[in-house]
Every structure is written in C-alpha cells, then in structure tokens.
C-alpha cells in the first residue's frame, strides 16, 4: 500500500529533552511537509522540503529542526528550545496538485 | 499573505439534513483548493480537489464548488449521516498550502 507513515503515534517528552518524530513515504513524492496542529486552529507549517538535501523554514520553525537525506524520509526534531511543544504533528507529501497526510504524532510534554 | 477562513466553526444537524460548509480566502490567485476530513486524533483525508479552472467537483454525496473571483468555496453534503461527523478543513494552494481552522460537524442520529 502506498502512503505516509508516522511514528510513534504518541510521544512523551520531559522538559529539556530533544525528541525526533519519524515520517516515511513510499509515494515517490519530492515534496514533504511538517505541520503543527493545536486545538481550534488550522495547520501551521513548520518546515518543508522540495527535494533531497534541501529544506526551508515555514511559519513556525523556531525550536524545530529537520533533515532530508533520503527522498522517502523527513524526520522532525523538536528541540528543548521549543517552549510549548505539546501539539499534534502531521507530516505530508505532495504531488504538483494534491497533498497527502500521515496519521499524525501526538507529542505531550510532561 | 493568504488567509483562509471557515464558517461556521461548529455545526450540529440531525441525520438526513443537507448542509453546506463555507470556506473563504483572501487572494484569488490560487492553483487549486482541497477539502479534507479529519477524525479525532487522526490525519487528514483528502475528499475533493478543485483546480482553479474548475467550478465544482463531486464525489458521492459530496459536492464542492469554487468561485475563485469572490474567494469562496463551499462543501455541500447531501443526506448527512452520523458517520459524517468529523472536522472538515479546506486548504488553498497558491504555491504554499494554507489551511482554514476547520468546521467541526456533528450529525445526530
């Protein structure tokens, strides 16, 4: 089955820890995205990558980092510099026209 | 900067009703508009994609329209069912994807 997988589904972080969220796609899409979703708000773009070894900051990149070493993988690291990381994180990939989403990771700071 | 607004934020209807969800955007220079469904704690599932040159798209009981010049799209759901209960989001593609905050729909049996 073609699609986007995210792991883990739930993640708990202690204050001061860095954590990495995984995103893998087998759709052969060049473009991949990370969004953050908070209750009652739309999706906000964290980082995106149009091609391997290249990525750009989105609207709320502070406190996050990414890498794009392989076409199918786009991991997101939430660093200790992100002051309010508790949220639902969604990974997406895109053809020219249409965007496809993974199932999401819910991150909670303890 | 493109802004996308969805009204209402929440909607509750009895089963069987036809309903309309609204999406408005501020910049009409878009490539396409996409409607998504999101169930609680899940990712987004694409429902309909309308290209900027199209006026509407249909899939089963769903019909989406696009009026690019006025910056509006509607999602029409016919004969609503409890299984339609979810949050519906619209997103406009003007090279970036911009999302509305969604409409939370509850269909009561």
pLDDT digit string (tens) for A59-98?
999 999 999 999 999 999 999 888 899 999 999 999 877 8
Show residues of chain A in contact with B47, CB under 8 Å: none
Rounded Cα distance between A93 and A11, Å, is 22
Q: How far is A110 from chain B (nearest CA, A)?
A: 19
Give exposure, B23-37, as e/b (b: 16+ Cβ within 10 Å).
bbbeeeebebbbbbb
Interface A-B: count of C-beta contacts within 8 A:
51
* CA angle in degrees (0–180, nearest 5) for A50-A53-A56: 50
Show residues of chain B in contact with A101, CB under 8 Å: 36, 43-46
Tell me if B46 and A100 make a contact (CB, 8 A cut-off).
yes
| Mean pLDDT of the region B97-101 | 92
In the predicted structure, residue A1 carries a pLDDT above the cut 80: no
DSSP A102: -
Query: What is the separation, in whole angstroms, between the first and last Cα of chain B?
Result: 41
| Mean pLDDT of the region B73-98 | 95
Q: What share of chain A is helix, strand, coil (3-state, %, to 5)?
A: 0, 55, 45
Please tell me which of the candidates A99, A104, A106 has its beta carbon nearest to residue B34.
Answer: A99
Please provide the average confidence, as pLDDT, over all residues in chain B. 95
- In Å, what is the CA distance from B109 to each residue of A4, A62, B87? 33, 45, 18
CB of A90 within 8 Å of any CB in chain B? yes
| Omega before residue B53 within 30° of 0, cis | no
Tell me if B97 and A33 make a contact (CB, 8 A cut-off).
yes
Per-residue pLDDT reduced to its tens digit, B16-37:
999 999 999 999 999 999 999 9
Tell me if A102 and B43 make a contact (CB, 8 A cut-off).
yes
Whether the CB-CB separation of B78 and B105 falls below 8 Å is answered with no
Tell me if B89 and A97 make a contact (CB, 8 A cut-off).
no
Q: How many CB atoms lie within 10 A of CB B60?
A: 8
Q: How far is A98 from chain B (nearest CA, A)?
A: 7
């Amino acid at each position: 089955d073609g699609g986007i997988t995210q792991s883990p589904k739930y993640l708990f972080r202690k204050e001061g820890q860095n954590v990495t969220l995984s995103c893998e796609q087998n759709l052969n899409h060049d473009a991949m995205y990370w969004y953050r979703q908070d209750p009652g708000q739309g999706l906000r773009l964290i980082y995106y990558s149009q091609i391997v070894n290249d990525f750009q900051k989105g609207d709320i990149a502070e406190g996050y980092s990414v890498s794009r070493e392989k076409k199918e993988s786009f991991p997101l690291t939430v660093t200790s510099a992100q002051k309010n990381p508790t949220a639902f994180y969604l990974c997406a990939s895109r053809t020219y026209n249409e965007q496809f989403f993974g199932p999401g990771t819910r991150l909670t700071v303890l | 900067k493109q802004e996308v607004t969805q009204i209402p934020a929440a909607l509750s209807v009895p089963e069987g009703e036809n309903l309309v969800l609204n999406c408005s955007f501020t910049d009409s220079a878009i490539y396409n508009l996409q409607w998504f469904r999101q169930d609680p704690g899940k990712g987004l599932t694409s429902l309909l994609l309308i290209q900027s040159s199209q006026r509407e798209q249909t899939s089963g009981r769903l019909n989406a329209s696009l009026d690019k010049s006025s910056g509006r799209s509607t999602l029409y759901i016919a004969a609503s069912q409890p299984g339609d209960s979810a949050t519906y989001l619209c997103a406009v593609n003007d090279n970036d994807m911009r999302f509305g905050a969604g409409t939370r729909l509850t269909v009561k049996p």
